[in-house]
Structure 1
Amino acid sequence: MPRTIAAAIALAASVAVIPVAAQPAVAKPAAVQQAAAKKAAVKACYDGRCRLTLTKRVAFPVDPRFGITRLTVDFTADIVRVTGSGARAMSRTQIGKGGSGSVNGIGVRVESLSASKAVVVLTPKR
């Protein structure tokens, strides 16, 4: 047997093969888990009914029955801005802590508000 073939066989014999099922599960990083949780939370808002705890600006699709197809929510320490947009429409409201308003048939209530976090409740009005 030529020397290179013998070396290749020896190398192959020293490599361990671990079946996929036996490999330990790799935990998802916390950031990936949080992003998945946030996606699930905003998906629940499609029908205009949800409670969001926000730490940064968020935008998500909503049911076209509201006359808009996307809702964007951002905030400062003093105000929550909610903007609804669609192909031919745009609607915006600004709400302070404890206040309420609406954007194209979606009611918005600000439960709590600080510089780092806002809790907003959406309720369909249509």
Structure 2
Amino acid sequence: MKMTIRPIVVPVLGLAFACAGCGDSGEPARSQPRPNGADRTTPPPASTVTPGQSPATKPGFPVPADGDDVKACRDGKCEILVTERTTIPLDRRFGFKKFSFDPADSTWRYTYPEGGGGRLRFLEPPYSGSWAAPRGEQSIDLRVVATQGSKAVISLSPAAS
């Protein structure tokens, strides 16, 4: 009795091809075409915007509200860009003779009118905290918003009493 493989192979291959479309291929299911152009779907939007983000907003280094104008900080409320060690002129009520920030090492430096001083650096996120001079009438909230190379955006605001 002579048996041929052909009668068995053809149905098996047919079954294999039929099942090739079965299962989850990771691709979305395609709908069957509909008459009169009803099979057209709306194209996806050109770009996706996350909630709270405008289409013009691109992730990256923030733009500070006060640019690089250190004079905006006199009242203790500002957000500025610094690209080198920058002295920040603060009103006397904060109790500092000199106050500065250096983006190279993210360090705040200060001196007091009576002498002495020091430096302050926030080592962990959110890189912010409050500081008060010994004879200051008002403490100040300090924040390093972002750093990139030798530039930083910093924010100051009078601390809540």
Q: TM-score range by the shorter chain?
A: 0.5 to 0.7
Equivalent residue, structure 2, for 1:102: 130
TM-align CA RMSD: 2.1
2:126 aligned with 1:92, yes or no? no
Count of residue pairs the alignment pairs up: 86
Aligned to 1:50: 78
Measured after TM superposition, the shift of residue 58 of structure 1 is: 0.3
Q: Distance in 1 between matches of 2:76 and 2:118?
A: 15
- Structure ID, larger Rg: 2
Q: Which has the higher contact order (CA 8 A, sep 6+)?
A: 1
Shift of 1:108: 0.8
TM-score by length of 2: 0.47
Residue ranges of structure 2 left out of the alignment (5+ in a row): 1-66, 133-138
Q: Structure 1: where are the runs of 5+ without partners?
A: 1-36
Counterpart of 2:108 in structure 1 is: 82
Separation of aligned partners in 1, 2:88 and 2:127: 22
Displacement of 1:91 after TM fit? Answer: 4.5
Aligned partners of 1:74, 1:103: CA distance in 2, in Å? Answer: 17
Task: Tell me which residue corresponds to 2:28.
Answer: none
* Aligned residues with identical type, % of pairs: 33
CA–CA distance in structure 1, aligned partners of residues 154 and 122 of structure 2? 10
- TM-score scaled by length of structure 1: 0.58
